[in-house]
A and B are shown apart, each in its own frame.
Chain A
Amino acid sequence: MPPLAQVLLDGLFTGASFALMAAGLALILGVVKVVNLSHGAFFTLGAYVAYVLDTRGVDHPLAAALMAAVIAFAFGVFLGRSFINPVRSHPFSVAVGSLGFAILFEQAAQMLWGPHPISIDLVDPWVAFGGVTIRRWGAASFLLSLGMLGGLALLLSTPWGLPLKLVAEDEEIAGSVGMDVEKIRYLTFGAASAVAAVAGALLAPAVAISPTMGRVPLILSLIVVIASGMEKVWNIFFLAVGLGLLSNLCAYLLAPQWSYLVLLAVICLLLVLRPAGLSAVRAGRDY
């Protein structure tokens, strides 16, 4: 197996898994205009749904993804309607409240399934030409993130996506032309939560499932969204994949500890150069 080729392919897949989480988070940040710190909890929810189905003999990833999407959408709509919408004009309250929900969810998961990490059977990878391993979870992340972000980009370019674009651009105008802005917001929140849960369900066989497993993906996806900006959907994908490749290359060529440091250093540099994100139309500093 050529190690460098394997490291690059894995970097692509790791980046795609960041993008999968970031897609939902970007949707919330763009349309609902809040920083949702409970996004990682929905990722965890998806993984636990996959685990529960697995213990009942249903081990098909699509079944787990579908079930996770339905449950997370319902939870997301409830949370969006009952909490996010009423307090969204107070950004600190939203951040603290959504973090509180995430901790509440972690505690609930601990009570239901215990604090111990649990695991479901690892699906065998495919071995491609030249002995390069194609990890199934990686391929699923890559294809799904491409599909999700491609679908979102397509939606925004058609009349169907107009309500989302209009609410993102100017809520007052959207409301004045008869759009139910509140409804669009909580449905968007539900849909984004469903995306995170689908990511959790698909990645479940590759990870150790535990109540706090959503914390690391939340931080990484938040970094990707803030650094890429929300104007151009594809930037999220390219930045996530770029960071995945960079992280893996640093870990392989330097040392694993360096991968996180380099990743954060690159993000800091990016934010200094383009504070509004990669896709901002007019980049500039605040002074």
Chain B
Amino acid sequence: MGFPRLLRLFPPVLALLVLCQALPLFAEHPDSRPNIRIGIVAPLSGPFASGGSSFLEAATLAVERANADGGVLGRHVEMVVADSQGRVETAKSEAMRLISREKVFAIVGAYLSEETVGVIEASVAARRILVVPVAATAEITDGVKRDYPRYRYVFRVAYSIPQWAALMSEFLRERRVRTYAFVGSGIRWNRELAEALKKNLAASGIVPAYETFYSPRNPAFEPVAVAAAAAAPDILVLGDPGKNSVVFVKRFREGGSAVPILSVGGSLGDARVASTLPLAAPLYVQAAAWRGASETATAYVEAFEKRYGYSPVGYSDTLPHDAVTVLLSAIRAAGRLDTNSVLSSLEKGAFPGVAGTYRFDASHQAAWGTGPWDLRGTVIQWEKDGARIVFPRR
């Protein structure tokens, strides 16, 4: 066979190779198509590992459920996990790695407001969808309002600071309190929350009797607890989702104060922790959803307990679960794995999650609030034999 005859064979061989490459695109079986890769950025080590671990567990549950239901668009969903260590720079570089090296379709994360801002920069630069599950600072959705073409890839499932304050205010108004004390960790979103709450409640004549923020490095709990109790508020709002909230409750109750406490959620939503605290005076905890709030919420709690052996806290787990669920539902609704189509689907659609049905406004913020279509969240009260939903009243 001479060289010219070999050349004649080249086109059919090339066509065969192209056909072989293209065949998986026509296959119907989910396993034969490339996986949908979703990046998860969460603090899995360091001081915020507790929240990050809940985040990952709940996201895993959502992905497992989607795969058990046959995947999304006939494809298997795969999580690619990155540890942000609770650091802004690490979160940003890990998000960049997920995008450039791991080729994820979208990212869910991060956890803290500060690290989320870093992840936003990485995701918008690469035009990847980012669903923010927990972080509450205004900066996250401000970008979408300010510069839509650049920041349109960012969506937030969690309640924003003003929404959070509105939900808390409604609860406080219903409790008919006249004064409150705000005590929390001295971090950015907490100060924003205290300010938003003050503004929100001022119209109803509810005023702060005491307000302070402790340093996470040297919290000085005892004098804060003494001063808060001495101010004799009708209720104490505890703005700290971390382990320090547990220590503060212990100090406050040790001092003999019977002032009710409303926690923003997190560690105090953990049934194992709550069972060790004095509960003679009310301890309320805010959550996105709770067992008994709806059939979906109860099913989620039972699935979580079965899978991990303990109950979810209803905040740092529920919201990441819903963030993943919303993203996968939007991909399904779009009908194709294309960023613009999924983005459009997220903007226009309504997506059921554990906390209710998520709809995004013009700034890509999920609608939480008191309107008929809004997500409302829940407040529980810890009692000796478990939690009871006290808000919204049913």
Contact = CB atoms under 8 A, between A and B. Distances in A.
B244 A208 contact: yes
A65 B141 CA distance: 50
Contact of A115 (B50, B215, B254): B50
A229 to B, nearest CB: 22
Secondary structure dominating the interface of A: helix
A10 B223 CA distance: 8
B173 interface: no
Interface stretch (B7-15, B60-68, B269-277, B322-330): B269-277
Interface residues of A, number: 47
A256 B50 contact: no
Interface residues of B, number: 42
Contacts of A263: 218
A70 interface: no
Interface string A1-35: 10100110011011000000000000000000000
B53 A114 contact: yes
Contact of B218 (A1, A115, A131, A220): A220
Nearest to A256: B214
A3 B220 contact: no
A12 to B, nearest CB: 10
B253 interface: yes
B243 to A, nearest CB: 4
A208 B243 contact: yes
A127 B256 contact: yes
B46 A212 contact: yes
Given A3-B226, A256-B212, A206 B247 contact: yes
Interface string B273-287: 100111000000000
Interface in B230-253: 230, 242-244, 246-247, 250-251, 253
B186 A122 contact: no
Contacts of B256: 1, 125, 127, 131, 133
B278 to A, nearest CB: 6
B273 A256 contact: no
Given A6-B222, A110-B45, 10 more contacts: A6-B255, A7-B226, A116-B53, A207-B247, A208-B244, A247-B220, A249-B223, A252-B226, A260-B217, A260-B220
20 contacts: A1-B226, A1-B255, A1-B256, A3-B230, A7-B222, A7-B226, A114-B50, A116-B54, A117-B267, A118-B272, A135-B254, A210-B50, A211-B49, A216-B217, A216-B218, A250-B220, A251-B223, A255-B213, A260-B215, A260-B218
Interface of A: 1, 3, 6-7, 10-11, 13-14, 107, 110, 114-122, 125, 127, 131, 133, 135, 206-208, 210-213, 215-216, 219-220, 247-252, 255-257, 259-260, 263
Interface of B: 45-47, 49-50, 52-54, 186, 212-215, 217-220, 222-224, 226-227, 229-230, 242-244, 246-247, 250-251, 253-256, 267, 270, 272-273, 276-278
